[in-house]
Amino acid sequence: MTGQPPGRPERPERPDRPGRPERVRVERVRVTGPPRRRTPGARTRDIDAETRLGGVYMGSLLREQLWLAVRVLSVLAAAVGSLPLAFHLWPGLTEVRLLGAPLPWLLLGVAVYPFLVLLGWRYVRRAERNEQHFLDLLSEVAE
Amino acid sequence: MTSVPGIVAVVVVALATLAIGTWGLRVSRTTSDFLVASRSVGPRLNASAIGGEYLSAASFLGVAGLVLTFGADMLWYPIGWTAGYLVLLVLVAAPLRRSGAYTLPDFAEARFGSRHVRSVCSVLVVAIGLLYLYPQFQGAGLTLRSAVGAPTWVGPVIVGAVVLANVTSGGMRSITFVQAFQYWLKLWALLLPAAVLVAVWFSDGRPGAASSLAGAPVGDWSAPLASGGGQGLYVTYSLIVATFLGTMGLPHVVVRFYTNPDGRAARRTTLVVLALLGLFYLLPPVYGALGRAYAAELAAAGRSDVLVLELPRLMVPGLLGDALTGLVTAGAFAAFLSTSSGLCIAVAGVLSQDVTGRPWRGRRLAGVTAFRLGAVVAVVVPTLMALAAPHVGVARAVGLAFAVAASTFCPLLLLGIWWRGLTAAGAVAGLAVGGLGSGAAVLATLTAAAPAGWPSVLLEQPAAWSVPLAFATMVGVSLATRSRVPAHAGRFMVRLHTPEALDLDRG
């Protein structure tokens, strides 16, 4: 990757002498400059050195993931955690029958499990997407 | 002979367990193999193993019996045990794996850089582990008495011997295969008989609850709340808190996460576990509801724990009934073996690092030897407890373990992973308050020392107050000792939360 110099000079090395064909010099500067593969590391170095910028990157990842977790758990609390209160406030719900089975049994014995798996599945997808964004952010070539 | 299917089942499961464990021995060589299967287990195998390890006697026998006796509010137990994995997935799974530690005390030491916190965690892991092992061994005694009429000491001794043979020979690596096998065995051992029994129920004209059942009216039985108005509501919510939050603090659950290759795999494994547990927990309520119609006298006689074992023979006469009885007995026995093995590994892992592996009079045991010695302790102590006190309620002891775990390791993990400001002093204070509070509460319940009414209810289900108390203590003491936040806390956060693909300094 670093061995092949680019075919055309994008940024002339000496703008004060535009007339001279400086191709050779341009190539040499590119090859001996800071190795390109280190460029993606620029932002990870901010994190390694615990600079303020690195702290901002880490803070954004942590906040994203924690916020995602809080959202998932809120849905869990609202949907499953509210059931005892609902049955406490409206005892008549116990008598409701759906498809020939009592409602509490359908909800607590059956429906809750696919719901938990669905929540988990959405969480995993989003958490992995957050990490991908973080990877992309830190891997962008700083140009 | 009614005991033949039971004997055959127990012998076959014990032999299969030993055979798979021995096969695992051929690939277990290093201490890393023993403790974390060298961190090379893929999500599906690992999830089966976690499911196999997690579905204990309480799940296999206890839930059906509780539903038979108390009704729909007992459905919160399996829901909590499953939802606990969702909470674990969302808040703990990937960071815990990325922390790179072997055990909970390792995590604590890495996070706080303090031997002191580590020691407190080790004591708690061993205490929770033994608390959870004891009812497993005790349940094994009950099962063998019901299935083959053996004296109650036979079960703990057989389970202890098989677990010890397996764990000391192959450690985590061989146990992974054994437990994956045992999940599927347990699932089929409930699924097949349940299908037959439901078919029998339909052909009998779908009978309702037996009128002879002593106790609460049917409406109360199908209400998903503990009885007693406001107290019932408290008990139900406290149970939800204990199970939703306690799962992540069980030592045998946590130690499993270190066997994943990376954080991403840890998440995916947990998701598969959620699905496997949900599938399994559809079944025990079926037994509970059928027992209402066919075996109500078990509840009246206080023997509801053996409902799953006896229902097939009560409903299906002859050879088929015997075969189904053998199958459920095999499943129950697998439940004791797998959970005990997992707990034994977790406790032995901690003991080998903090007790048996320490230098002693200038000599030091090798890693694998120390692990084996730890395993012997982890099996012999609860076996003796089960032999000495065979009559303490199985479900109670398990509930105690969940409440203690939720009040100690749950705040430690959540705050340790998500809050940079947690200090060693805060962690120790919170662990002490949560552990002593929940432990004292359940001890008072076991000895029936509390007066009836609200005090008794609050002590019976302590999680709803002991968990917030532990959180508040950890946060409060940490804020008061703000100047002593570990210097490497920021670096540790990087390690916990960044994907492994990034080339970062992880301390």
A32-56 pLDDT, tens per residue? 544 444 445 567 777 777 777 877 8
**Mean pLDDT, residues B460-476 taken together:** 92
* Residues present in chain B in total: 507
How many domains, in total, are found in chain B? 1
CB B424 within 8 A of CB B486: yes
B144 occurs within a structural domain: yes
Q: What is the pLDDT of residues B200-253, one digit of tens each?
A: 888 887 776 554 444 444 556 667 777 667 788 888 899 899 999 999 888 888
pLDDT computed for residue A6 by the predictor: 46
Does the pLDDT at position B425 exceed 90? Answer: yes
A61 and A27 belong to one structural domain: no
Q: What is the largest CA-CA distance in chain B?
A: 74
Which residue do the tokens 């460029």 mark? Answer: A39
Within a 13 Å sphere around the CA of B481, how many CA atoms are in the beta-carbon half?
17
The pLDDT of residue B391 is 61
Residues A7 and A50 grouped into a single domain? no
A96 and A120 inside one domain: yes
A–B interface: beta-carbon pairs under 8 A = 133
Q: Choose among B132, B133, B111: nearest CA to B121.
A: B111
Q: What is the pLDDT of residue B214?
A: 40
Q: Do A105 and B83 make contact, defined as CB atoms within 8 angstroms?
A: no
Residue from A113, A119, A133 to probe the interface with B (highest B Cβ count within 10 Å) = A113
Of residues B39 and B457, more confidence is placed in: B457
CA distances to A113, B67, B243 from A106, in Å: 11, 14, 21
pLDDT at position B337 over 50? yes
Q: What is the dihedral of CA B43, B195, B394, B275, to 10 degrees?
A: 20
Q: Which residue of B has its CA nearest to A84?
A: B225
Structural domain includes residue B422: no
**Mean pLDDT in runs of 10 for chain A (143 residues)?**
46 52 50 48 69 81 92 93 85 75 83 94 94 83 46
Same domain, A86 and A104: yes
- For A76, nearest residue in chain B (alpha carbons): B83
Q: Are residues A19 and A75 in the same domain?
A: no
- Is the confidence at residue B426, as pLDDT, over 50? yes
B26-40, B63-77, B134-148, B455-469: which has the minimum mean pLDDT?
B26-40
Work out the percent of chain B whose per-residue pLDDT is above 90. Answer: 21
- What CATH code is carried by the domain that includes residue B68? 1.20.1730.10
* Per-residue pLDDT at B155: 81
Share of chain B above pLDDT 70, in %: 86
Banded model confidence at residue B483, pLDDT cuts 50, 70, 90: confident
How many structural domains is chain A composed of?
Answer: 2
Q: Is A127 found in the same domain as A108?
A: yes
Report yes or no on B303 lying in a domain. yes
CB B136 within 8 Å of CB B336: yes
Asked if residue B506 is part of any domain, the answer here is: no
**Whether residue A63 is found in the same domain as residue A128:** yes
CB contact under 8 A, A105 and B281: no
Q: What is the pLDDT of residue B114?
A: 85
Instruction: Report pLDDT digits (tens) over B89-140.
Output: 999 999 988 888 778 888 899 898 888 899 999 999 998 888 888 888 888 8
* Per-residue model confidence (pLDDT) at position A9: 46
Q: State whether A20 and A87 are in the same domain.
A: no
In a domain, B430, yes or no: no
ipTM of the complex: 0.87
Contacts of B228 in chain A (CB under 8 A): none
**Token pair of B477 as six digits:** 């003491």
Same domain? A12 vs A73: no
Lowest mean pLDDT among A38-42, B407-411, B464-468: A38-42
Supply the range of the domain harboring residue A87: 40-139
The pLDDT assigned to B37 comes to 55
pLDDT of residue A128: 92
How far does B272 lie from chain A, in Å, by closest CA?
8
Min distance B222 CA to chain A CA atoms (Å): 7
**In which region does residue B220 sit, left (phi positive, over 0), alpha (psi from -120 to 50) or beta (all else)?**
alpha
Counting every residue written for chain A, the total comes to 143
For residue range B154-169, list pLDDT tens digits in order: 888 888 888 888 777 7
Q: What are the tens digits of pLDDT across the range B282-316?
A: 999 899 888 888 887 777 777 777 888 888 888 88
Residues A67 and A132 in one domain: yes
Tell me, yes or no, whether A44 and A108 share the same domain: yes
Residue with tokens 């089966």: B48
| Min Cα–Cα distance to chain B from A109, Å | 6
Asked whether the beta carbons of residue B87 and residue A119 sit closer than 8 angstroms, the reply is no
Residues of A in contact with B240 (CB under 8 A): 81, 84
Q: Which residue has the tokens 């201490």?
A: B31
- Contact list in B for residue A113 (CB cut-off 8 A) is 82, 277-279, 281-282
pLDDT of residue B84: 93
B384 belongs to a structural domain: yes
Highest mean pLDDT among A129-143, B353-367, B431-445, B462-476 belongs to B462-476
**Per the CB < 8 Å rule, is B493 touching A107?**
no
Asked whether residue B407 is domain-assigned, the answer is no
pLDDT at A67: 94
C-alpha to C-alpha distance for B347 and B134, rounded to whole angstroms: 13
The confidence band for B405, taking pLDDT boundaries of 50, 70 and 90, is very high
Residues A53 and A118 in one domain: yes
Q: What residues of chain B lie within 8 A of the CB of A55, using their CB?
A: 490
In a domain, B16, yes or no: yes
User: What is the reported pLDDT for B450?
Assistant: 63
Which among A44, A84, A134 has CB closest to B503? A44
Q: Do B289 and A94 touch (CB under 8 A)?
A: no
Structure-model confidence comparison of residues B365 and A59, the more confident one: A59
The Cα B244–Cα B431 span in angstroms is 18
